[in-house]
Structure 1
Amino acid sequence: MTFPIQPADIRLIASDMDGTLLDADGQVPVRFWPLLERILAAGILFSPASGRQYQTLRAIFGDRDGLVYIAENGTNIVRAGVTIALEPVDQAIIPPIVDWVRATAAAGADLGIVVCGARSAYIERSDEAFVASVRPYYAALEIVDDVTVAGAADDVLKLAVFDRHRAETRTGPAVTALGLPADVVISGDSWVDIMRPGVNKGKALQRLQEHLGISRDQTMAFGDFLNDAEMLDAALHSYAVANAHPSIRERARHIAPSNLDEGVITSIIDALPALAPALA
């Protein structure tokens, strides 16, 4: 005798944004919005889990009941406007990283740094090309004379270094070699994030699970890049999109279609077919 496959008991869905949920234009697919409403109506929580700033994620998704934000690569967790966890870096690590970025940029590299505070992000490089690379990720953004001075007056959640197409081969190894008490994470082809040791999307997801009383077995997660690795470990139902970094595809239990093929939408519907009418 055979039995039909039962839908998974999913209570929490966490998804990376860039390269995972978002399309080629960096937008949430139109077909996702009705699906999100069905997810939330079913009592399932949804967590945008991103290196993006909380203010940016909130501007995209709003204040819907059932949303929980994992922002700045897990350093800021917010639900219904209330901060669940905030994990700032040691202020002492900021000057040597800023100095390295300034020196490397002065030598001709296409580099820039974002000091990511809880209130705002701060940059001192103000050319149009760099600002255009930064602004999609930081809705609250200030151009300042000195990012170290600006950061000293805020809770700095992470430092983000932009190194066009050389994040993994130049900035990541170089910042790691500084030997600072921080975790250095490659978060994209051109981005390196520096955070408090032991803080990442996976730790944030585990903290959220404990806060909500939701187990790993009841959690689904989607990712594409190295900063998603621990988050996938924290979810039994872990998915790498087809366009993911090779190590992330190896780490996940499932492979979803690429972000260009709306893999997050497809995989949620496959696991939870009762949500399919959202796409009608």
Structure 2
Amino acid sequence: MNPASLAPGSLVLCAQRSLHAQLGARRAGVTSSRETAWSSQPEGREQSLSLPGNEQRPKAAVVDHPAEPSDIRLIVSDMDGTLLDDDGKVPAAFWPLLGDLHRAGILFVPASGRQYQTLHGIFGEHDGLIYIAENGTNVVQDGVSIDLEPVEPTIIAPIVDWVRTTAAAGADLGLVVCGARSAYIERGDAHFVSQVRQYYAAVEVVADVQAAALDDVILKLAIYDPAFAETRSGPALRGLGLPSEIVVSGQNWVDVMRQGANKGRALERLQQQLGISRAQTMAFGDYLNDAEMLDAAGHSYAMANGHPSILARAMNIAPPCSEAGVVRSIRAALPHLQGEPVSV
């Protein structure tokens, strides 16, 4: 069964034979359609958040001890700027917490713009995780993609042409064509490759990324823009008017995905499959590509170091990633878990 032809809300096991079927259709020039009648997400919250008694809490306040949520069964967390510290490392206090969550029957889900292979390299020795990778376009369990949202093949060439033309005119841009099997780049200089390898463990330098795309299922196209992506590449890509989802996923990255694809949509389908409600879900994020994911959780946390719009959108604000904010917030919210309080 081809995941690109599924109706919205479906969650289907996609083994390797599913990927091969898609590749055969791509080579034969066959494209598939998918309904796009997704429900709209709530609007962003105001810049200050209401508390009991109509008090107003400034968005930068840090919540260390919120009221204990009842029956949390799923915790989903972004990686860069959220779970990972300023050096891009998982805080040491997270690993005993992960064990405590497992014993309590609470599922932890890394949710990232990073490639699945990269996420698995971080968590792979720990069993029982489900990964929301590539900004929600690839959900992986036990090494198998259970939910894929590939890009529309028709948008690949215009994006590739735009990056090539803009770079030829002097802009410092790089393109990553992100497939389920590997990522593909044409630019091979050491600086760009080092940036790419932070997020893509499986990456190939090729002569033509469009040709390479024919042999993989393409999940998204990531544009590297060191001149602040939110104000340059993001608006320029939206101006192309392509039927796609364009999100600024970091200070220097813009992701182009299938229309309607995001971490929140992937989380909603996962909740449905697992029989876990929004009220039983906690979510942590820091940047624009985390917005819909926070909306899909009954207990949402923005990191204190996060983007202003995410700070305004979340129900709670966690300590910064440099202070193990995800770990501290989970420990504070779920004191019944075993383990010692976190010290930083």
Q: Normalising by the residue count of structure 2, what TM-score does the alignment of the two structures yield?
A: 0.78
What residue number does 1:193 align with? Answer: 255
Does the CA-based 8 Å contact 1:269-1:275 persist in structure 2? Answer: yes
Does the CA-based 8 Å contact 2:81-2:321 persist in structure 1? Answer: yes
Q: Which amino acid aligns with 1:34?
A: P
Structure 2 Cα separation of the partners of residues 6 and 126 of structure 1: 50
Does the CA-based 8 Å contact 1:40-1:65 persist in structure 2? Answer: no
Higher helix proportion, which one? 1
Q: 2:138 aligns with which of 50, 66, 76?
A: 76
Segments of 4+ moved more than 3 angstroms? none
- 1:93-132 to 2 correspondences below 5 Å: 93-132=155-194
- Shift of residue 279 of structure 1? 5.5
Query: Can you list the C-alpha shifts for 1:22-80, whole angstroms capped at 9, x where unaligned?
Result: 01111111111111111112110010000000111011101533311000000001112
- SS of 1:273's equivalent in the other structure is coil
Q: Does 1:206 align with 2:295?
A: no
- SS of 1:94's equivalent in the other structure is helix
Does the CA-based 8 Å contact 2:197-2:203 persist in structure 1? Answer: yes
Q: Which amino acid aligns with 2:76?
A: A
- 1:1-280 to 2 correspondences below 5 Å: 6-62=68-124, 64-277=126-339
* Identity across matched positions, percent: 67
- SS of 1:167's equivalent in the other structure is coil
What residue number does 2:13 align with? Answer: none
Q: Which blocks of at least 5 consecutive residues in structure 1 are unaligned?
A: none
Q: CA RMSD in A?
A: 1.3
Q: Which blocks of at least 5 consecutive residues in structure 2 are unaligned?
A: 1-66
Does the CA-based 8 Å contact 2:222-2:255 persist in structure 1? Answer: yes
Structure 1 Cα separation of the partners of residues 275 and 130 of structure 2: 14
- Shift of residue 81 of structure 1? 2.0
Higher Cα Rg, which structure: 2
Structure 1 Cα separation of the partners of residues 309 and 280 of structure 2: 24
- SS of 1:159's equivalent in the other structure is strand
Q: Normalising by the residue count of structure 1, what TM-score does the alignment of the two structures yield?
A: 0.96
- Shift of residue 278 of structure 1? 5.3
